[in-house]
């Protein structure tokens, strides 16, 4: 098993390198971060040249990639613009843990991202929890009552659920719970931000602001997960061992929860495990609509300013998380299912 894990880690490295190359090439060509540093007017020519040099943007793209990867302490850079490279560089590169500084606000990328990760995790983990619980409930129920009216209604709703773009759901929810409720004088839900700054970042505030974004995000995943659980449960319920269990006289509840669900939860665990790292992407669209200060909004804001270090930092973080979680999922899968052997 250990050798399998090590092998998978080693396989992950060239994968991450390929990803970083593709993304870096794309990012560097998406626009000029210095072009908009002039505020409301075009950046002055002399400042433009100087800023490009100081931020290392005047080098060819492969040199920039190299500096991003391994830093530039082993070479000299031209700091004062006289054309002579005389000062040793100070960047360590991503392989040594230095994600660089944001081009927009000169703060270290890790600090910029680190400020936002907890906010995204709060949103996504609660969403995932609701989705899993909800999907289990809905999926099991409709599997047990296959072809009943409930099953058909739930199936139809699930289809509708994952056919809607998230922002449409969000807009509808905002319209009903914020606009209409307010018009009718009912207590209404907030639609902006994570908390009211004057009241402070209390648990109550965050929960209150979390309701609409989490529900908007959950609908789509809930719909597709519940269908998946339903079909898995149906598969399991048709197995011989279930029939044996029933014929042994076990109560319905024992059969379903002890035997069926445990076996059905295996593929579910896989799906959850593979989906979790994508949570770091932070539901870009939802955060944008609800102004939630998370990583998705950070990504959008900084992509529009062509801030390569921050964007690459976020993307690589997600890619690493995906690779790591794939390995963890495989390991857990093997541990849960004694039939699986890796060598």
Partner 1 sequence: MPEKSTKIAILTPDELETPPLSLTQLAWRRFKRHRPAMIGLVVLSLLVIYALGGSIFLSEKFANFNDTSQRLLTPTIDHPFGTDSIGRDVLARTIYGGQISLLIGLTAVVVETILGILVGALAGFYGGIVDNILMRITEAMLNIPEIFLLIVMAKYFGGKIPELDLFGRTFSGSVVVIVLIIGLTSWMYLARIVRAQFLSLKENEFVLAARATGTPNIDIIFRHILPNSVAPIVVSATLGVANAILAEAYISFLGLGVQPPTATWGNMLDGANNYLESAPWLWFFPGLLILLTVLSINFLGDGLRDALDPRSRTV
Partner 2 sequence: MSRKPIFYALFAILIIASLVLSGCGGGKANVATLIFTQEFDNLAPLYSSMWFVWTTWQMFDHWAWEFDQNNEPFPRLVTEIPSVENGGVREGGRIITMHLRDDIKWSDNVPMTADDFIFTWEMAVSPQNTVATTYPYDMIESVEAPDPQTVVVTFIEPFAPWLANLWHGILPAHILRPVYDAEGTIDNADWLKNPSVGCGPYNFVEWESGSFARFVRNENYWGAPAKIDEIFIRFVPDDASQVAALKAGDADMGTFISYSDVPALQDAGLNIVIEPSGYDEFMFFLVNEEKGHPALLDVRVRRAIALAIDRDGINQDLHYGLTKTPTSFWDALPYYNDPPLQPYPYDPQEANRLLDEAGWIDSNGNGIRDKDGIELEISHATTIREDRQDVQAVIKQDLEEVGIKLDVNPVDDTLYFASYADNGPAARGEFDIQEWSDGPLFPDPDIYYWLCDQIPTDENPTGENWFYICDEELDRLIKLQSTQVDPVERRDTISQINQLFYEKVYIIGMWQDPDVYAVGSHLQNVKFSGVTMFYNIAEWELTR
Residue (of 43, 45, 67) closest to 55 by Cα position? 67
Residue 140 Cα distances to 231, 270, 338, angstroms: 9, 18, 24
Q: Tell me: does residue 19 bind partner 1 (CB under 8 A).
A: yes
Distances (CA, A) of 309 to 39, 151, 306: 21, 49, 9
Q: Within positions 128 to 167, which residues make up the interface with partner 2, using CB under 8 A?
A: 133, 137
Strands 76-77 and 87-88: antiparallel
Q: Which of 5, 19, 77, 211 binds partner 2 (CB under 8 A)?
A: 211
Contact of residue 308 among partner 2, partner 1, none (CB under 5-8 Å per partner type): none
Closest approach, Cβ 19 to partner 2, in A, equals 23
Instruction: Output the six-digit token pair for 257.
Output: 């929860």
Task: Give the contact letters, 155-194, x = binds to partner 1 (CB under 8 A), - = no.
Answer: -x--xx-xxxxxxx--xx-xx---x---------------
**Nearest alpha carbon to residue 337 among 237, 235, 242, 266:** 266
Binding residues for partner 2, rule CB under 8 A, total 67
199 binds, among partner 1, partner 2, none (CB under 5 to 8 A by kind): partner 2
Counting contacts by CB under 8 A, is residue 284 touching partner 1?
A: yes
Q: Compare residues 210 and 316 and give the one whose CB is closer to partner 1.
A: 316
Can you tell me which of 50, 117, 270, 284 binds partner 2, judged by CB under 8 A? Answer: 50
- Binding flag, residue 297, partner 2 (CB under 8 A): yes
Q: Give the shortest CB-327-to-partner 2 separation in angstroms.
A: 32
* 80 interacts with partner 2 by CB under 8 A: yes
Q: How far apart are CA 156 and CA 153, in angstroms?
A: 5
Spatial distance between the Cα atoms of 174 and 172, rounded to a whole number of angstroms: 5
Closest by CA to 96, choosing from 65, 63, 77, 69, is 69
User: Which residue of 121, 300, 327, 334 would you call a contact of partner 1, by CB under 8 A?
Assistant: 300
Residue 227 is a binding residue for partner 1 (CB under 8 A):
yes
Site mask, partner 1, residues 38-77, x = CB under 8 A?
A: ----------------------------------------
18 binds partner 1 (CB under 8 A): yes
* Nearer to partner 2 among residue 112 and residue 264 (C-beta): 112
Residue with tokens 């669900």: 261
Burial of 311 (0-12, 13-18, 19+ CB in 10 A): buried
Q: Which residue in 322, 144, 326 sits closest to 230, CA to CA?
A: 144
Return the C-alpha torsion angle 317, 319, 320, 323, nearest 10: 160
Cβ within 8 Å of residue 224, ≥6 positions away: 158, 161, 162
Long-range contacts from 1-10, C-beta under 8 angstroms, 24+ separation: 1/331, 1/334, 1/342, 3/343, 4/342, 4/343, 5/327, 5/331, 8/326, 8/327, 8/330, 9/327
As measured in angstroms, the least distance from the Cβ of 69 to partner 2 is 22
Decide if residue 278 touches partner 1 (CB under 8 A).
Answer: yes
Q: How far is the CB of 276 from partner 2 (least distance, A)?
A: 21
- Please give the residues from 189 up to 208 whose contact with partner 2 meets the rule CB under 8 A: 191-199, 201-205, 207-208
DSSP secondary structure code for residue 42 in this structure: P
Q: Which stretches of the chain bind partner 2, using CB under 8 A?
A: 30-51, 54-55, 79-81, 101, 104-107, 112, 115-116, 119, 133, 137, 187, 191-199, 201-205, 207-208, 211, 253, 288, 291, 293-294, 297-298, 301, 304-306
Q: Which stretches of the chain bind partner 1, using CB under 8 A?
A: 14-15, 18-19, 22-23, 26-27, 29-31, 156, 159-160, 162-168, 171-172, 174-175, 179, 224, 227-228, 231, 235, 278, 281, 284-285, 288-289, 299-300, 303-304, 306, 311, 314-315, 318-319, 322-323
């Amino acid at each position: 098993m250990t050798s399998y894990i090590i092998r998978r880690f080693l396989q992950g490295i060239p994968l991450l390198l390929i990803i970083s190359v593709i993304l870096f090439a794309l990012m560097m060509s998406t626009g000029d971060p210095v072009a908009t540093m002039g505020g409301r007017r075009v950046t002055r020519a002399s400042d433009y040249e100087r800023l490009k040099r100081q931020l290392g943007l005047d080098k060819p793209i492969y040199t920039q990639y190299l500096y991003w990867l391994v830093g530039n302490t082993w070479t000299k850079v031209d700091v004062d613009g006289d054309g002579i490279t005389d000062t040793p560089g100070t960047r360590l590169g991503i392989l040594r843990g230095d994600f660089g500084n944001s081009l927009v606000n000169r703060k270290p990328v890790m600090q910029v991202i680190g400020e936002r990760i907890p906010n995204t995790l709060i949103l996504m983990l609660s969403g995932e929890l609701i989705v899993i619980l909800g999907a289990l409930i809905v999926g099991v129920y409709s599997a047990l009552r296959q072809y009943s009216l409930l099953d058909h209604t739930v199936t139809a709703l699930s289809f509708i659920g994952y056919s809607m773009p998230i922002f449409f759901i969000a807009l509808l929810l905002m319209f009903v719970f914020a606009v209409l409720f307010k018009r009718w004088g009912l207590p209404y839900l907030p639609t902006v931000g994570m908390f009211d700054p004057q009241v402070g970042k209390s648990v109550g505030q965050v929960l209150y602001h979390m309701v609409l974004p989490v529900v908007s995000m959950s609908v789509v995943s809930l719909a597709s997960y519940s269908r998946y659980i339903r079909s898995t449960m149906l598969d399991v319920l048709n197995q011989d061992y279930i029939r044996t269990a029933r014929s042994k006289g076990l109560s319905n509840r024992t059969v379903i929860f002890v035997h069926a669900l445990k076996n059905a939860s295996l593929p579910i665990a896989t799906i959850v495990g593979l989906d979790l790292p994508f949570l770091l992407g932070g539901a870009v669209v939802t955060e944008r609509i609800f102004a939630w200060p998370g990583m998705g909004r950070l990504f959008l804001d900084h992509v529009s300013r062509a801030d390569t270090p921050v964007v690459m930092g976020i993307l690589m973080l997600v890619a690493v998380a995906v690779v790591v979680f794939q390995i963890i999922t495989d390991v857990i899968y093997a541990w849960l299912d004694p039939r699986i052997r890796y060598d």
